[in-house]
Each structure stands twice: as structure tokens, then as C-alpha cells.
Amino acid sequence: METETGNDVTVQKTGTTTVGLVTAEGVVLAADRRASLGGRFVSNKQAVKIEQIHPTAAVTLSGSVGAGQAFIRQLRSTANLYEARRGEPMNMDALARTAGRLLRGTRSMPVLGGVDEEGPRVFQIDPAGGVLEDTYTASGSGTQLATGALERLYEEDLSLAEGASVATQAVESAIERDTASGNGITVARITSEDVMIDIDSTSEEVH
């Protein structure tokens, strides 16, 4: 996580390393648990940066904590209204388009992951509203470290358990060297059935 100084006010940032990847059985999202101020002070050691926003989708938080939380609330509300109005949940394309629209002009850069009729899908959303689908991606201050690990470890057709292991290792790699990431790992496993978020995943499955 980093801190950010705008208008002479320092706001909490996630600093953060978050990753998302597609497996044969679903999507895995993982994130560290550190929030920081100005990148030099750990302001929170138990931040949970993955939230469910839909019956079979979740997002990671990275960048400004406030912007990320506001984004999540809006996205969840939109998904709920969509389902109440139409009697079926949003598909991932609709959810990604909405996420991009809501993010424009904010200071948040989440990873969106979920499962719809097309299967497991992962999207990188940027603060300008850019929406790019990928099979594996990372965001936050530890992006480069996590991406290096993902390039080496990611394979197509991983099982959900193998995917969780790869995602956890990628975040752990970043935690080792990125001062704004740390304090444990949250892992989410998303299938066509539901979203399971393990808030404080031990790294047993890593090694």
C-alpha cells in the first residue's frame, strides 16, 4: 500500500499487491492485508481487500481505500438492482462495463473476477475506465513483483487449488520486497456456484 498526498491531506491507500487468475474450475483472487499512509507507515494490518459484489463475482481493492470502498458499494448496488429488475444476475461483460464506468476519474485500480455462462473470467479495470480481460493479472504497488511470479508459475487449466497456490505465491513474492504490501493474504475462490473468501489464508498451500 502507499500513501497519497492530495490537497494537503494524506489518505489511506492499499499500497497493495492483488492478483487474479483464471483456472479450469473457476477464478482465484488474492491480496495482501496491509493499508498504508504515504507508503511509509502501516496504517492497518488487517485490511480485507477482496469483496464479493455479485453471486459469482468479486473484486480486489487497490489504490485509495476510500475510492475503492465507494466503488465496491456502487457496483454491488447496481448488480443487486439489475438482478431484482431482470430476475437473473448480471453477466461478467455487463459487470465489467459497469465497473469501468464507475471507476472513471477515481484513484482505484481493481481486479474483477467472476464466473458466468462463458466460464471463469478476469478483468483489469483502470482509473480511466479501461477494461481489459486477461487470464492472469496483478495490480497495486507490488504489481511487477507479482507479475514476475505469475509469468513463471501460471499455466492453463490449473485446478482451483493449484490456482490458489499460484496466486498466493505471487502475492508472497511481492510481500517479500514491496514495503507497501504485507501482513498476510486473503484468497477468494469463485466458481459457478458461489464466492468463498478466506480472509486470512495461511500459506500452507504455497510450499
Partner 1 sequence: MRGQDDRQAYDRGTSLFSPDGRLYQVEYAREAVKRGGASVGIRATDGVVLVAERRIRSSLLEARSIEKLHKIDEHNGVASAGHVADARQLVEEARQTAQIEQLSYDQPITPEQLTGDVSEHVQEYTQAGHTRPFGAALLVGGYVEGTPQLFETDPSGTSYEWQATAIGGNSDEIEEELESEYDPEISLDAASSLAVSVLTEEEEDDPETVAVAVIDDDGYRTLDREAIEDLL
- Give catalytic residue positions: 16
Q: Which is nearer to partner 1, 73 or 177 (CB)?
A: 73
| # chain residues binding partner 1, by CB under 8 A | 9
Of residues 73 and 152, the one with the C-beta less far from partner 1 = 73
40 versus 73: smaller Cβ distance to partner 1: 73
| Residue with smaller CB distance to partner 1, 87 or 105 | 87
Give the C-alpha separation, 1 to 17, whole Å.
8
Task: Quickly list H helices, 34-153.
Answer: 65-86, 92-103, 143-153
> Strand 185-190 vs strand 195-201: parallel, antiparallel, or unpaired?
antiparallel
Distance between CA atoms of residues 14 and 72, nearest Å: 14
x-marked contacts with partner 1 along 16-55 as a string, rule CB under 8 A: ----------------------------------------
Task: Give the count of alpha carbons within 13 A of 20, CB side only.
Answer: 32
Query: Which parts of 62-81 interact with partner 1 (CB under 8 A)?
Result: 73-74, 77, 80-81
- CA 47 to CA 17: how far, in whole Å? 12
Q: Which residue's C-alpha cell is 483464471?
A: 22
Find, among 52, 59, 61, the residue nearest to 14 by Cα. Answer: 61
Residues of this chain, 81-100, that bind partner 1 according to CB under 8 A: 81, 83-85, 87
- Residues at the site binding partner 1, with contacts judged by CB under 8 A: 73-74, 77, 80-81, 83-85, 87
